[in-house]
Amino acid sequence: MAEQVGARSLVHAFEKAGVSTLFTLSGNHIMPIFDAVIDASIELIHTRHEAATVHMADAYARLTKKVGVAMVTGGPGHANAVSALYTTAMAEAPVVLLSGHAPLNQLGKGAFQEMAQADIAAPLCKASWTCAGPEYLQADFLLACAIAQAGRPGPVHLSLPSDALEGKLTQASASPSPSAPKLPAPQLLSAEHAKSIIAQLHAAKKPVILVGPRGCHRYPALLQELSQASGVPVIATESPRGIGDPSLGAFAEVLAQSDCVLLLDKKLDFTLKFGSSPSFMSDAKFMQVDSEAAELVRSKNALGARLVLAAQADLEPSVHALVNATKSASSKVHDATWLSWVKEAITYRPAAWATAVSSTPNHAHPGRAMLALQAILDSHPDSVLVADGGEIGQWAQACLHAPNRIINGMAGSIGAALPFATAAAYTKPGVPVVAVMGDGTFGFHSSELDTAVRYRLPFIGVVGNDACWNAEYQIQVREYGKERAKGCELLPSRYDQVAIAFGGAGSMVTDVEQVLPAAKALQSQGLPSILNILIEGLPAPTLKRV
């Protein structure tokens, strides 16, 4: 091929990988890429904070089931982006973070913004390395995309030295940089293991299959097929509240009665109380299929003899193998009573929520305020719900449902609502996007309203405004007493006016009857908007039927 600079070679790799969008924030080190994409069919979504680029790429990946690509400058820009990788990793979303980097020929000499970037990102990534030269850019990027999607999906980091981007090459290397990791081989579930798993599920009286975060947003139809084929309830989990996840109703009751649990690429971790009693029966059997051997070892250490089967295999081929195994199984679970009971438990919500009244004057009850928004989500078959924040995020997950849902996930870290909403509006144009967040959450990335306005990406951002870091306040009250609650106060600020100042739309309401009319009025403007709801600061719901 003709001589070209490294940045243009990298853009060819973008095109080979089918990348059409880069979520990015400009900076010195990556300006060669900004120039190179001008002649390509690749759109730059230019954000206001590096962490927001990762959050947007994360949401894009979850909604499209493709690799999301975030691109930031080196040094402190890279450091800003790294904080968002934890949310992405725990959500099991395939994201590639590209970071500019000091030139290779200046390393160790005190180069501008020189930093051990790959080492900094490594603990939060499936793989992290630095490109060794312009000839490796294509192979490195394609490998990063492949690793991000292999096994349990997650973030991958690749640092791009500026002299690699500006350097000349006549032939791209077919091999990646010498320091690049190897692509892990696919892990398949054997037919024997699949048959054994189905047999033990069928032999149980109250079996359940638990799936981790990626099952929620990558394989919902496939998991439904498994449930129908096996007759066993399949429950996908992605909340840090775990067995207390309010979106799963009386989920804790289901687990407490299950006598056989298949962990299908679901980690045995804090969300499941490590499999301990009384969250699970002391004699409940566990089986586990996971793409990572380390997870199987950890479960064996926690469960001992209760772990009756463990197999290393990837999720998608494992589900296919299990479905095939049901076709040759001698019996099926036909206990309609158990299946119906599980469904009723998961969908349970207190009837009293529909008429709940706030005890604080001129403040809405958070549950009723959320219920009022369901009409917006029901108005389109592909609507998107974003739920972020502490207590209000849990109320949103308990009260609202949509064909597409993005939450802050197992990480339990707040702040991504506005980047998530912006990416959702970009990814699904013309679709209603409702993004619920707390007033604390709003402060993390409020400037991304500027991004949404610039790209004309409409959504309804709903701020549950209790003038408080309510999740932490509730901990203080519960653990130390109300008289020792301190340092969690906020102002009842006009977040709606912030949206207007950025060129969006905004409205404030104080009563549940005002919520839906105000939301519809904002939606009609076709702008990024904030519905600022003054709410009573209540704890997140804990759902029990007894």
The structure's pTM equals 0.96
Options 1.10.10.10, 3.40.50.300, 1.20.930.40, 3.40.50.970; CATH of 351-534 = 3.40.50.970
Contact between residue 265 and residue 295 where contact means Cβ atoms under 8 Å apart: no
Contact between residue 417 and residue 389 where contact means Cβ atoms under 8 Å apart: yes
Domain map (residue ranges) of the chain: 4-169, 191-347, 351-534
Please report where in the chains the tokens 């070892």 appear, as a residue: 297
Query: What pLDDT is stored for residue 192 in this prediction?
Result: 97
- Domain spanning 191-347 has what CATH number? 3.40.50.1220
- What is the bridge-based pairing of β-strands 4-5 and 168-169? antiparallel
Using CA of residue 307, residue 309, residue 311, residue 315, what is the dihedral sign?
Answer: negative
Whether omega before 278 lies within 30 degrees of 0, making that bond cis, reads yes
Q: What does the alpha-carbon distance between residue 52 and residue 254 come to, in Å, rounded to a whole number?
A: 37
Contact between residue 530 and residue 464 where contact means Cβ atoms under 8 Å apart: no
Q: Going residue by residue through the chain (546 aa), what tens digit of pLDDT does each one get?
A: 567 899 999 999 999 999 999 999 999 999 999 999 998 989 999 999 999 999 999 999 999 999 999 999 999 999 999 999 999 999 999 999 999 999 999 888 998 899 999 999 999 999 999 999 999 999 999 999 999 999 999 999 999 999 999 999 989 999 999 999 999 999 999 999 999 999 999 999 999 999 999 888 788 889 999 999 999 999 999 999 999 999 999 999 999 999 999 999 999 999 999 999 999 999 999 999 999 999 999 999 999 999 999 999 999 999 999 999 998 866 665 577 898 999 999 999 999 999 999 999 999 999 999 999 999 999 999 999 999 998 999 999 999 999 999 999 999 999 999 999 999 999 999 999 999 999 999 999 999 999 999 999 999 999 999 999 999 999 999 999 999 999 999 999 999 999 999 999 999 999 999 999 999 999 999 999 999 999 999 999 988 886
Q: What does the alpha-carbon distance between residue 220 and residue 255 come to, in Å, rounded to a whole number?
A: 21
Q: Which CATH superfamily is domain 4-169 in?
A: Thiamin diphosphate (ThDP)-binding fold, Pyr/PP domains (3.40.50.970)
Matching CATH topology for 4-169 and 191-347?
yes
H or E, element range at 215? helix 213-217
Query: What pLDDT is stored for residue 332 in this prediction?
Result: 65
SS3 of residue 207 by DSSP: strand
DSSP for residue 389:
S
> CA 207 from chain center: how many Å?
27
Strand order in the sheet with 505-509: 404-407, 384-387, 433-438, 459-465, 528-534, 505-509
Using CA of residue 122, residue 124, residue 125, residue 130, what is the dihedral sign?
Answer: negative
| Per-residue tokens: 439 | 């007033």
Contacts of 178-183 spanning 24+ positions with Cβ under 8 A: 178/132, 179/129, 179/130, 179/132, 180/127, 180/129, 180/136, 180/139, 180/140, 180/143, 181/127, 181/129, 181/143, 181/147, 183/143, 183/146, 183/147, 183/150
Region of residue 340 (left: phi > 0; alpha: psi -120 to 50; beta: else)? alpha
**Among residues 107, 113, 106, 43, which one has the least CA distance to residue 77?**
113
Residues 6+ apart with CB under 8 A from 456: 526
Contact between residue 413 and residue 86 where contact means Cβ atoms under 8 Å apart: yes
Report residue 352: phi and psi, to 5°.
Answer: -65, -20
Query: What pLDDT is stored for residue 251 in this prediction?
Result: 96
DSSP for residue 74:
S
